[in-house]
Structure 1
Amino acid sequence: MSDRIEYGNLMHAAMRSLIRTVLSDVAADGLPGEHHFFITFDTTHPEAQLADWLRQRYPSEMTVVLQHWYDHLSVGDDGFSVTLNFGESPEPLFIPFDAIRTFVDPSVEFGLRFETQDSDEDEDEEDEASDLPETEPHDNDTGNGDAQIVSLDKFRK
């Protein structure tokens, strides 16, 4: 038993549980209204599964968008899988909840950020997005609802 309560770890577990619940609801019923998600994750996480060409292009982190087109969204205890379209190329992904760095729903200005263990900042911090993220189109983006890679640097301190 530890000699202190690990509030940061408990908060991260609660925030990941919230993401799991939201994604499970979306998998069952679809995205309601204008809701959509920007999810940034660590591509070096040992359990993250993505195509080799995506891992080479995004060697440390990647942001995906669940909005107009996604397929096969399935949520488990440890992560979720989804197929996204990258420039007319559907690619399956598995994103462990432990690999998620940010989760943002700009339609309601809601965001979560997970601090890394080597960060000097408090681990139990939850950010609410006050500005919508700026979108950087994917090189192969056809503009027809395909997945987009975005920068969420506005949400970083």
Structure 2
Amino acid sequence: MTSRIIRVTVGQLSLTLGMFWLVMSLTTPEPRHVSAGAAGVGGGLVLLLWRRIRLPVRPVLAGSVAIGLVGTVAGLIVRTVTVGGMFGWFEDRGWPFSWLGRGALADSVDEARRQALAGGWGVDLFRLAVDVVVWSYTGLVLICVFGLAVRARKARRAPERAE
């Protein structure tokens, strides 16, 4: 009973926040914002409709956690470098949100870049957590769609075998 209340609450919050994010990103041409909102909406719907979906919990949970971690690590491929004003150099990694970054300010852009490279990377834990959640919701939705497609295919083939 308690797990059902938590699942419904998290599902409703995810659906609401995902829809809000989608509405707010209508004027933004970046696909990462639309992707994050769509993942929240999809994950919220799956959590709210879980009893109707009727898929095995452990494989779906394991798959969505694995996709969440793999997607977050794979998102590090996306690299953004910006030059701030005349004296700053900043590099960020991560998708849909950059959670790994380094940067520096100096008397020239080259000096700022050198200092940033020497300074090392910094981790934004909040954005990292949001990335893991977005990728996990994406995995949850993909696994559920795949599971429902397999179930529908089996149901469609069952009458053919009976004849």
> What's the TM-score once normalised by structure 1's chain length?
0.28
Bigger Rg over Cα:
2
Structure with bigger strand share is 1
Structure with bigger helix share is 2
